[in-house]
A = this chain, B = another copy of it.
Amino acid sequence: MVAPMNFNEEYTRRIDYIEKILRRYLPAQEGYQKVIMEAMEYSLMAGGKRIRPMLMLETYRLFGGEPGMIAPFMAAIEMIHTYSLVHDDLPAMDNDEYRRGRKTTHIIYGEDMGILAGDALLNYAFETACRSFDLDGEYAVRAGKAMKILAGKAGIYGMIGGQVVDVKESGHEVSGDVLDFIYRLKTSALIEASMMIGAVMAGAEDEDIRTVEQIARKIGLAFQIQDDILDVTSTTEVLGKPVHSDEKNKKTTYVTLKGIEESKKDVERMTAEAIRELNRYPAQDEFLEQLLKSLVYREK
């Protein structure tokens, strides 16, 4: 898909804005423990689509959020996503030496510092989110609500829970139910948190927050299925990581369960549903629609 010119410009502008925020909240590299700050920056500033903070910001705008108040949570969600990658890459987990063409954190800093850098990023995510308690009255109350969502969706009933089942079932064939569970927790949960926190901090009603959760679940699922499709249809050069890894690891994926055509249809259907539901909100704009399309029609 060729996106309209202004989308790519807008997208780049937002990536820049998000990376400026990430840098702002990264700790200064000083003190006897400086190496851990370096490892945090190394992993956090390694590029990536930044879709979680981007979706958070867009949802925040959708519900009329005032500029500035969402920044600590945008940084926090990306720190949580990053810590999960750092720990995933460890020798006892996926044992990956490269990510996005760069050496992984534990390869550069050692396995012990890899573990500690992940711990540090997870903890610092909450530390960063806590800055929102300094905001004025109503925002501090919203921050408490947002913090609950962040912790819940990142934990054993969210991302970590999905990761646990993924690790446990690795090398086994799994049922559609278990696969749904893994995708919903491992991938959708943080997308749900992103969009829900955007809505909460903007002061959205509880009903809208629940709607946003459902929309985000579809987006996360479509995103993950597209990952499965690309593992089959893409090339290592385009993807920047080895393809056919699922087949090699005998991994059950949406594609192995449903076939490639059905998977593509489901991705399109779920994305269209998400866009339709978002379009019910008057403030919904072109960018978010284009963003969702770009995520599911992406080639890497």
Contacts and interface: CB of A to CB of B under 8 A. Distances in A.
Interface of A: 27, 31-33, 35-37, 40, 83, 87, 90-93, 110-116, 118-120, 122-124, 126-127, 130, 133, 140-141, 143-145, 147-148, 151-152, 154-157, 160-165, 167-168, 178, 181, 185
Chain copies in the assembled complex:
2
Nearest to A126: B151
A155 B93 CA distance: 24
Given A36-B156, A161-B36, A122 B122 contact: yes
B36 A164 contact: yes
Given A126-B126, A144-B143, A178 B32 contact: yes
Given A33-B162, A87-B119, A120-B164, 5 more contacts: A33-B161, A35-B164, A120-B156, A122-B122, A133-B145
A116 B35 contact: no
B112 A92 contact: yes
A216 to B, nearest CB: 19
A40 B155 CA distance: 12
25 contacts: A33-B162, A33-B168, A35-B164, A37-B156, A40-B156, A83-B119, A87-B116, A90-B115, A92-B110, A92-B112, A92-B115, A93-B112, A112-B167, A116-B160, A116-B164, A118-B119, A119-B119, A120-B160, A123-B151, A123-B154, A124-B151, A130-B151, A133-B144, A133-B145, A147-B147
B116 A163 contact: yes
A8 B118 CA distance: 40
A143 B144 CA distance: 9
Nearest to A169: B32
Contacts of A133: 144-145, 147-148
The winner among A83, A155, A185 for most chain B CB atoms within 10 A is A155
A123 B36 contact: no
Contact of A33 (B35, B40, B130, B156): B156
